[in-house]
Amino acid sequence: MNQLLVLDLDGTLLRNDKTVSEETIDTLLEFKKRENKIIFATARPPRDAYKYVPQKLRDNPIICYNGACIINDKEILYKKEMSKDTVYKIVETSEKSGYHQICFEINDKLYSNFDTSDFFGKAPTEIIDLTKLDMKTVYKVIICEKAIIPQDFLEILPNTCKGIVTDNGQLCQIMDQEVSKWNSIQSLMKTWNIKDENIIAFGDDYNDLDMIKNAGIGVAMGNAEKVVKESANFVTDTNANDGVAKYLKRYILQK
């Protein structure tokens, strides 16, 4: 094994219509054939990750919930849930700040206290009194707002968790303080005996920053946020124009 490739999904591997081109699929299969490994890293839950990862590539591990768990063929390899006390404090802080539309991700199922269709479309959601749920098994709390959630809100969250504002400021995704894509990658690095310098990470959004900065090679998509581009070693083409495949073909597969 030579290198480990870590790929964000939305805005990176997936095109704007949430598909992956045959060119990109073939390029990734060629990369893996050369005794390399591939991991997908997404904010999505397992049910959605498997929906969008192409069938030919589903034998690779998937980091879900921004790093709160890793699955491989639906087997959980790693998980980091929040404490019950932390979840209660998050809900209390959110409501005091005027944010009352809240979701929980528990055991690959979305629960909410409101109709989430404006935010998640037809995604299956159980509307319920959240206080009736087992808060010991919450991977992620999601706060949803039509107005932009300011970055200042993150500073008043409990210090046992951390949040990321995404989706044009309308979602605040909150997880355990130790959760990140990079931390979950490191749990696999120990198993596979991989060094940082042998990792190539692709991303476009704020939740990709840690792996872009820490990987041996961090590659930002052409459509990435400005700070992601500034933190990367390379900027490739956009997700809509097979940016992942273009970089691999030019810099990795020609060697």
At 167-219, the pLDDT tens digits run 889 999 999 999 999 999 998 888 888 999 999 999 999 889 999 999 999 99
Residue 97: pLDDT band (50, 70, 90) is very high
Please give the pLDDT value at position 189. 86
Please give the pLDDT value at position 16. 97
Task: Quickly list DSSP for 188-245.
Answer: HHHHHT--GGGEEEEE-SGGGHHHHHHSSEEEE-TTS-HHHHHH-SEE---GGGTHHH
- The pLDDT of residue 153 is above 60: yes
Query: CA 61, CA 13: separation in Å to the nearest integer?
Result: 15
Average pLDDT estimate for 8-35: 97
Strand ranges of the sheet holding 126-127, from the earlier edge strand across to the other edge: 126-127, 109-112, 102-106, 138-144, 171-176, 161-166
The per-residue b/e assignment along 162-188, b for 16 or more CB within 10 angstroms, e otherwise, is bbbbbeeebbbbbbbeebbbbbbbbeb
Q: Which domains does the chain have, with CATH numbers?
A: 4-79+179-252 (3.40.50.1000), 84-176 (3.30.1240.10)
Tokens of 45: 């839950």
The model's pTM: 0.89
Residue 1: pLDDT band (50, 70, 90) is low
Please give the pLDDT value at position 58. 95
Please give the pLDDT value at position 179. 94
Q: Which residue would you say has higher pLDDT here, 19 or 2?
A: 19
Query: CA 247, CA 136: separation in Å to the nearest integer?
Result: 42
- The pLDDT of residue 137 is above 90: no
Contact (CB, 8 A) for 123 and 18:
no
Q: Percent of the chain at pLDDT above 70?
A: 99
Please give the pLDDT value at position 151. 93
Contact (CB, 8 A) for 39 and 72:
no
* 116 CB neighbour count, 10 Å cutoff: 20
Contact (CB, 8 A) for 220 and 206:
no
Residues 6+ apart with CB under 8 A from 90: 82, 141, 157, 158, 161, 174
- The pLDDT of residue 49 is above 70: yes
- The pLDDT of residue 111 is above 80: yes
Q: Percent of the chain at pLDDT above 90?
A: 86
Strand ranges of the sheet holding 234-235, from the earlier edge strand across to the other edge: 75-79, 69-72, 62-64, 37-41, 4-8, 199-203, 217-220, 234-235
